[in-house]
Amino acid sequence: MPKFITIGYGDREGYERTPEPLRNAAHAHDALLQKQGVVMGVAGPAVQVRNAEAKGICTSSGAFMSSQLPVAGFAVIDAVDMDEAIRIVSLSPCAVAHGVVEVWPLEQPGTAA
């Protein structure tokens, strides 16, 4: 089954202005996905890694890309297609609490699409 990488963006303000029963339902949805084997986690601090021409590792703190909302978490989900992946993430905390979730197809070399 195809895999999708999801990146959730959201902030405390959007989360707190979402009704608590809706937030609780979204967390229950995530808990169910995790019980079904979805790999999911909260985003920690980012580190950028460079190694130009393999001549030496250089790191710097912070995300490379910026967005209007901070990265809140990641997941790897299985879905038959993009439409199903969208349906699955549409009930996540970031999606319902005034944030956004990106869904990226994970193209794995050597596997049929």
| Helix (H) / strand (E) containing 33 | helix 20-35
Residue 111: its pLDDT value, please? Answer: 63
Q: Tokens 């905390």 label which residue?
A: 93
Mean pLDDT, the chain, whole residue set:
94
pTM: 0.87
Tell me what pLDDT residue 41 has. 93
22, 94 in Cβ contact below 8 A?
A: no
pLDDT band at 109 (very low <50, low <70, confident <90, very high): confident
Q: Give the model's pLDDT for residue 108.
A: 81
**Largest distance between two CA atoms of the chain:** 53
d(CA 42, CA 28): 15
What are the residue ranges spanned by the domains of the chain? 3-106
* Topology classification of domain 3-106: Alpha-Beta Plaits (3.30.70)
Report whether pLDDT(38) > 90.
Answer: yes
